[in-house]
DNA sequence: CATAGATAGACAACCGGTTGCACAAGCGCA
DNA sequence: TGCGCTTGTGCAACCGGTTGTCTATCTATG
């Protein structure tokens, strides 16, 4: 069934049917409701491909999936995509996956050149983000989850600065001793953002930050073991892990060393992932509503595609959840 | 730039250009190479939307993403999708995400009715799989990763029966004592398949299976704790965990109980996921090449869409990796 | 040398929508 | 009553490809 069939059946022109469905152009209310009733009764869905050809749209948006095994925060990504999917579906739009390895643009150029999508969503942007640079150079609509250094980029993210500041100062006020920071990949913008929050959180609590107890690129067990030795020597009372993977490493190493938590040392983490939820003792962590984040990102991108004006957004969908590990 | 522009520039008809690109229809080798050279030089990509409208295709396939938090094996899913993405890209086809919750068909009907994709890939099929039933009823092309009960379905999967049989008999021959099975969700077909492998693995080693030491739906720490108590009472020498999540639970509980591995009890797992890779002691596990699995699935689906004949496939992309936990 | 058959390419219809423009009917107002 | 303006609808071109059918040219054959 096509709009021609509908038109013939109702003795009107296909133009009128098209207008009734899209809501654009002049049409009488009576004709319009007649058409809508008919297509609803017959469960007619106009072809999005034909619509797309005429409008030069695909009704698809891509999400860039960072395809490095050891690097992606899968639960975060899943939640985000769930949110995007929900928001997009409301406008008949779907999510297409674009695998990208490292800081290469991978399949992105094929997807853009073939015009397979109307826009792109980037997650967890890097300092020099190749996909972002590419999309900017092509003047292709996109929204980045996580801030970027280019002012032209539309971004949305949770307030990681504020979240980390809050967590840090809460811990500081609890008198947990010296607070070390165990950070992730310094190429991630988010790593620096959280770092700033940590610094200011300490300052708010009247503590002078000490660069000697801040570590980045904590990505392996041997490295964590070495750091842990230093923490012991420096008589650190509490460690803030910048993500759940780092926290896992921390827990593994403390267990091996026979360090008891929270008796000997305390620990808090970003993200209360499944692994941490099951941990013993339970882990103090920041909980984020990543789903909502994805939803916002998709909403913003769709508005961008529709030519509406879009402002950067900073969300506060997080919560500090205090558990045993910082008691 | 369109094929009309190319045609005009080369003083030939758009038909000829179309034929040169697609390779269909009669065309001289000289004209063909002339056209191909021109479009290559000018980096011309014919519109897939227009092509799609004419051919009634979208050059997209959907992968159903089971959107239950606690249920999806994310690393498995990621690897699969990476493989699919790679195989599909070679035919200008992309992967679209279709979120589905539980055994509901979710967004699937919208995607099918709107003809957003040419076919669907299902992962980890259930006993009564709503998406599979729906797609069959709509006569819509799809491939299932994991077997189904409906003979009309095209399936591909690793040989989980054989893998589990092999693992079980290897362990049995190592004289690890009585071998218990800790299984997952009984709604998953794969759970039953592995179970059969376990039974036959024991028989091959001359051991009579004992239903009393087979557990299913091991999905929480309390349940695991109860099971562990039984295993101790029954003097079990080794546990086979049907997936990495169950193995994690097992490790957590044994640690709490002060059970030493492999001294007091041995353990082996399906999947050598990141979490297990870091475990201490290292865990004996089955390693699967999920990426290749996804690649095969996408290949098969594309052939199905192209009207070629497709046979079910059973892959043997796995390896038993023996580590300390079964020494 | 005439003719049949093969081959290369062009024409035009088609896929299923959108949209600029033309036109007729209905209305208010002088 | 006549005029201009608004409103509702239709026509046909267009988006950018594919493909069935037809023609012109070339080759092989008796």
- Paired residues of A95 in beta bridges: A61, B97
**Nearest residue for C7, CA–C1':** B26
pLDDT-derived band of residue B26, with 50, 70 and 90 as boundaries?
A: confident
Round to whole Å and give the CA distance between A36 and A42.
10
Contact, B50 CB vs strand D, < 7 Å: yes
**Contact status, residue B288 vs residue B78, Cβ threshold 8 Å:** no
In this structure, of A71-85, A195-209, B293-307, the range with the lowest mean pLDDT score is: A71-85
Task: Quote the distance between the C-alpha of residue B78 and its chain's center.
Answer: 9
Alpha-helix runs per DSSP H in chain B: 3-10, 14-22, 29-41, 48-55, 74-89, 108-113, 130-138, 160-173, 189-204, 221-233, 244-257, 274-277, 290-305
Give B-chain residues touching A78 at CB under 8 angstroms: 65, 67, 69, 72, 74
- 3-class SS of residue A238: strand
Q: At A232, which helix (H) or strand (E)?
A: helix A221-233
Beta-carbon separation of A99 and B82 below 8 A: yes
Surface-to-core class of residue A302, CB atoms within 10 Å of its CB (0-12 exposed, 13-18 middle, 19+ buried): buried
- B16 CB and strand D closer than 7 A: no
Task: Check whether A70 has a pLDDT greater than 70.
Answer: no
Q: How confident is the model at residue A278 (pLDDT cuts 50, 70, 90)?
A: low
In chain A, what percentage of residues exceed pLDDT 90? 78
Percent of chain A past pLDDT 70, that is, above it, reads: 98
How buried is A56 (Cβ within 10 angstroms: 0-12 exposed, 13-18 middle, 19+ buried)?
exposed
Dist CA B219 CA B201 (whole Å): 24
Cα A201–Cα A205–Cα A207 angle in degrees, nearest 5: 90
Average pLDDT, chain A: 93
Beta-strand relationship, A284-288 and A318-321: antiparallel
Q: pLDDT at position B219, please? A: 86
pLDDT band (50, 70, 90) for residue A216 = very high
| Gap from A50 CA to C16 C1', Å | 5
Q: Check: CB of residue A58 under 8 Å from CB of residue A90.
A: no
The CA R_g of chain A, rounded to the nearest whole Å, is 25
Residue B49 has pLDDT above 60, yes or no: yes
Identify the H or E element spanning A20. Answer: helix A14-22
How far is the C-alpha of A150 from the C-alpha of A140, rounded, in Å?
14
Specify the DSSP class assigned to residue B217: -
For residue B109, whether the previous peptide bond is cis, meaning omega lies within 30 degrees of 0, is no
The verdict on a CB contact (< 8 Å) between A274 and B75 is no
Q: How far is A201 from chain B (nearest CA, A)?
A: 32
- Can you tell me the distance from the alpha carbon of B40 to that of A80, in angstroms, rounded to the nearest whole number? 38
CA distance A125 to A155: 10
Given an 8 Å threshold on Cβ–Cβ distance, is B99 in contact with A82?
yes
Encode pLDDT of A129-171 as tens digits: 899 999 999 999 999 998 888 889 999 999 999 999 999 999 9
Contact assessment for residue B240 and residue B182, using Cβ atoms and an 8 Å cutoff: yes
Would the CB atoms of B67 and A82 count as touching at under 8 Å? Answer: yes
Distances (CA, A) of B123 to A305, B151, B244: 32, 17, 17
pLDDT at B188 over 80: yes
Q: Is the CB of B28 under 7 A from strand D?
A: no
Per residue in B227-275, pLDDT (tens digit) is: 999 999 999 999 999 988 899 889 888 988 889 989 999 999 998 876 6
Beta bridge partners of A179: A238
Could you tell me the sign of the dihedral formed by the alpha carbons of B10, B13, B14, B18, in that order? Answer: negative
Does the pLDDT of residue A72 top 80, yes or no?
no
Nearest to B93 by CA among A172, A107, A69: A107
pLDDT at B279: 73
Do the Cβ atoms of A50 and A84 come closer than 8 Å? no
Beta bridge pairs of residue A186:
none
| Other Cβ atoms closer than 10 A to A157 | 23
What are B270-325's pLDDT values in tens digits?
A: 988 766 776 778 899 999 999 999 999 999 999 999 999 999 999 999 999 999 99
Percent of chain B at pLDDT > 70 equals 98
**Is A48 a residue whose pLDDT tops 60?**
yes
Counting beta carbons within 10 angstroms of the beta carbon of residue A46, is it exposed (0 to 12), middle (13 to 18) or buried (19 or more)? middle
CA of B26 to C1' of D23 (A): 15
Mutant choice from A44, A58, A66, A99 vs B, greatest count of B C-beta within 10 A: A99
* Chain C nucleotides reached by a protein CB under 7 Å: 7-12, 14-20
Q: Is B292 exposed, middle or buried (0-12, 13-18, 19+ CB in 10 A)?
A: middle
Mean pLDDT of B161-170: 97
How high does pLDDT run on average in chain B? 92
Q: What is the pLDDT of residue B275?
A: 66
Q: Do A48 and B116 touch (CB under 8 A)?
A: yes
Query: Is residue A88 a contact partner of residue A61, using CB atoms and an 8 Å limit?
Result: yes
Cis check for the bond before A262: say yes or no (omega within 30 of 0).
yes
């Amino acid at each position: 069934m096509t709009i021609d069939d509908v038109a013939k059946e109702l003795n009107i022109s296909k133009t009128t049917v098209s207008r009734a469905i899209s809501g654009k152009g002049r049409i009488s209310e009576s004709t319009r409701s007649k058409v809508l009733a008919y297509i609803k009764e017959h469960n007619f869905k106009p072809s999005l491909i034909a619509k797309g050809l005429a409008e030069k749209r695909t009704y698809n948006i891509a999400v860039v999936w960072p395809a490095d095994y050891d690097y992606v925060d899968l639960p975060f990504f899943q939640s985000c995509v769930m949110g995007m999917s929900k928001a997009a579906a409301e406008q008949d739009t779907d999510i297409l996956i674009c695998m990208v390895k490292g800081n290469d643009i991978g399949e992105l150029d094929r997807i853009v050149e073939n015009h397979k999508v109307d826009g792109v969503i980037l997650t967890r942007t890097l300092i020099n983000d190749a996909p972002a640079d590419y999309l900017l150079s092509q003047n292709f609509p996109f929204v980045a989850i996580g801030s970027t250094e280019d002012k032209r980029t539309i971004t949305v993210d949770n307030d990681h600065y504020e979240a980390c500041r809050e967590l840090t100062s809460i811990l500081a006020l609890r008198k947990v001793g010296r607070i070390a920071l165990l950070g992730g990949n310094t190429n991630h913008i988010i790593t620096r953002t959280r770092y700033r929050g940590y610094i200011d959180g300490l300052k708010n609590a009247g503590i002078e930050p000490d660069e000697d107890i801040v570590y980045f690129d904590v990505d392996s067990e041997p490295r964590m073991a070495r750091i842990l030795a230093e923490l012991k020597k420096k008589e650190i009372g509490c460690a803030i892990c910048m993500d759940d993977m780092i926290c896992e490493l921390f827990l593994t190493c403390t267990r091996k060393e026979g360090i008891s938590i929270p008796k000997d040392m305390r620990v808090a983490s970003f993200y209360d992932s499944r692994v941490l939820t099951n941990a013993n003792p339970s882990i103090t962590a920041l909980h984020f509503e990543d789903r909502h984040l994805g939803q916002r990102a998709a909403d913003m991108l769709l508005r961008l595609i529709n030519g509406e004006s879009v402002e950067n957004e900073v969300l506060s969908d997080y919560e500090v959840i205090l558990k045993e590990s910082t008691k």
